Structure 1
Amino acid sequence: MTEKWQSIIVKELETAMSAIDEEQLDALVDALMTPNRRVLCVGVGRVLISMKAWVKRLLHLGVDINYVGAETEGPVGPGDLVLVASSSGESIVPVQIAKKADSVGASVFYIGCTPDSSVDQIADQRLYLKGRTKFSGDDEVISIQPMSTLVEQQLYLLCDVIALEIMKRNGWTEETVKNHHANLE
């Protein structure tokens, strides 16, 4: 039975990830690689857990990144980037953070499933994912997994795709990345 679930989950991820718009993905990589830019991530629940993985890996690639609420969170302003991850684009915390980021002149990048959502309307740029939101109708669901699980999985994998693209663009090897990895483990 376990193999059946594994196969279904991998197929769902393959279908969803293959639907990602390459131009939107390139725009996200460009935004992350902009020099002298602070990047903050926001999400709630398991989405935030996936975004924390972005922070860890992208720090290894020289991105000045953190997540909203971290003890070491710094300010953002004009020229900085706030990544707002929310499948629905309507969760209270991401919506309010997007509004605040916009009000201080930071660029807002929405990563989620819902065009015309509150966050999408605030965002300067966006990358749409396929998956269930808390507002999805039965005809919209492309996953047997509960709630926004498919979106959370895509977020985690998306970071790895972005990391490889940043490495490629910079001509870096794994050895380059290791030089930025923690060494007191």
Structure 2
Amino acid sequence: MHLKQIIETVAEEVSSVMANVNEEEARHLSACLLSAKRIFVFGEGRSGLMAKAFAMRLMHGGFTVYVVGETTTPSIGQGDLLVLVSGSGSSSMMDALVRTARKAGADIGLVTTNRDAEIAKESASVVIVPAATKHRKETEPSTIQPLGNQFDQTVHLLLDAIIIFTLHQSKKHHSFEDMKQTHTNLE
């Protein structure tokens, strides 16, 4: 297979997965973002990198957002939203975070491939990303990519699309220039 074919195949795979995301689920996550007092994000591995990219764009859009595990992250509380990004939708760390967040009165948002995850049952918002994961279940789409690449790539684009939609729904719409002003100047 030539590199050009690989590039085209990867783009087609991600496009196909994006086309199968339930728009109402994505809209509901957007509504949760808009109503949250503060937003906390978490993911492990590459999913964690996608969560951090999401946090960065939310910050650029004027939201108060924190990455769980960073030293400057405050305690979560009533009116806050914890957004978890995970292909499997479960891990012992995420289970512990959900227990703490729920006890503090926060809502949970989950971006995952696994509708049956225990965390999904406790979440105010669940966005199912029908992508291939490292587990290669029969119900997952085929992919030429290793491990959870298809999920991670789709999540990145999907969360960016949700942010764009959310900013358009916001009462204080942030323009490109507004967002540029919040971009770091320490580089």
TM-score w.r.t. the length of structure 1 is 0.91
The question of 1:144 aligning with 2:148 is answered no
2:29 counterpart residue number: 28
How far off is 1:56 after superposition?
1.1
1:182 counterpart residue number: 184
| Partner Cα distance (2:96, 2:176) in 1 | 38
- Alignment deviations for residues 103-124 of structure 1 (CA, whole Å, 9 cap, x no partner): 2211011110111212212212
Whether the 8 Å CA contact 2:25–2:126 is kept in 1: the answer is yes
TM-score w.r.t. the length of structure 2 is 0.90
| Partner Cα distance (2:174, 2:40) in 1 | 24
| Partner Cα distance (1:101, 1:6) in 2 | 40
| Partner Cα distance (1:152, 1:34) in 2 | 26
Give unpaired runs (5+ residues) of structure 1: none
| Partner Cα distance (1:28, 1:139) in 2 | 24
2:71 counterpart residue number: 71
| Partner Cα distance (2:102, 2:147) in 1 | 28
Whether the 8 Å CA contact 2:133–2:147 is kept in 1: the answer is yes
| Partner Cα distance (2:141, 2:126) in 1 | 21
Does the C-alpha gap of structure 1 residues 43 and 67 become closer, same or farther in structure 2, counting only changes over 3 Å?
same
How far off is 1:167 after superposition?
3.3
SS in 2 for 1:78: coil
How far off is 1:136 after superposition?
4.0
The question of 1:90 aligning with 2:90 is answered yes
SS in 2 for 1:152: helix
SS in 2 for 1:40: strand
Does the C-alpha gap of structure 1 residues 179 and 115 become closer, same or farther in structure 2, counting only changes over 3 Å?
same
> Which amino acid is the alignment partner of residue 124 of structure 2?
D
> Which amino acid is the alignment partner of residue 182 of structure 1?
T
1:6-155 pair list within 5 angstroms:
6-34=7-35, 37-155=37-155
Does the C-alpha gap of structure 1 residues 140 and 155 become closer, same or farther in structure 2, counting only changes over 3 Å?
closer
Q: Percent of aligned positions with the same letter in both sequences? A: 26
| Partner Cα distance (1:136, 1:47) in 2 | 17
> Which amino acid is the alignment partner of residue 110 of structure 1?
L
